[in-house]
Amino acid sequence: MSRIGKKPIEIPAGVTVNVDGARVTAKGPKGELALALMDEVEAKLEGNVLVVTPRDDSKRSHAMWGMQRTLVANIIEGVSKGFEKRLEITGVGFRAQARGRTLNLQLGYSHDIEYAVPEGVTVETPEQTKIVVSGIDKQKVGQVAAEIRAYRKPEPYKGKGVKYAGEYIFRKEGKKK
């Protein structure tokens, strides 16, 4: 039995959810998202609550149950509140600047990095060393944040690079004489 799958999904006020066979669509104040459920699970709308259940007792349907429930919960949370990832830049001369649909990164390379922000995601730079990635699709927001971080991961000696806000960087001691 899936502990996550058993939990019903509360639908917040201002969000409408439609279940059409294996397709779940959610519409809210932030936008609209849809998800095609796998064949092993089904969703039922019972008043103000959405319940995801496995179609049979097979091992695969129980394996997909919790994951599909979480994906449905993510689209409902995305259209109501949205998602956000914060990144911090550490290093002398390292900075970021958002210009329209591109993010200009100066990360100690011989050239500036121009990152094209995909549709459905917004990138803001409240300070030169802080980046805020936000949107309604949790997967896209996390992917964009991971791609920006991958340009210069934090190194263990001085901690220079791009890291998530609140991320702990394991530090190493330098050479000894």
* pLDDT tens readout for residues 91-150: 999 999 999 999 999 999 999 999 999 999 999 999 999 999 999 999 999 999 999 999
Average pLDDT on 139-168 reads 95
What topology is assigned to 3-80 in CATH?
A: Outer Surface Protein A; domain 3 (3.90.930)
3-class SS letters over the chain: CCHHHHCCEECCCCCEEEEECCEEEEECCCCEEEEECCCCEEEEEECCEEEEEECCCCHHHHHHHHHHHHHHHHHHHHHHCCEEEEEEEECCCCEEEEECCEEEEECCCCCCEEEECCCCEEEEEEECCEEEEEECCHHHHHHHHHHHHHCCCCCCCCCCEEEECCCCCCCCCCCCC
Average pLDDT on 1-12 reads 87
* Ranges for all domains in the chain classified under CATH 3.90.930.12: 3-80, 83-164
Residue 31 pLDDT grade (very low, low, confident, very high; cuts 50, 70, 90) = very high
Q: How many CB atoms lie within 10 A of CB 131?
A: 27
Average pLDDT score, the chain: 93
Which tokens belong to 130? 């802080």
> pTM of the entire structure?
0.89
Rounded CA separation 54/49 (Å): 17
Instruction: Yes or no: say if 103 and 115 are a contact pair by the CB < 8 Å rule.
Output: yes
Evaluate if residue 86 carries a pLDDT over 90. Answer: yes
Sheet arrangement for strand 49-54 = 9-10, 49-54, 41-46
Right CATH number for 83-164 from 3.20.20.70, 3.10.180.10, 3.90.930.12, 3.40.50.300? 3.90.930.12
Evaluate if residue 38 carries a pLDDT over 90. Answer: yes
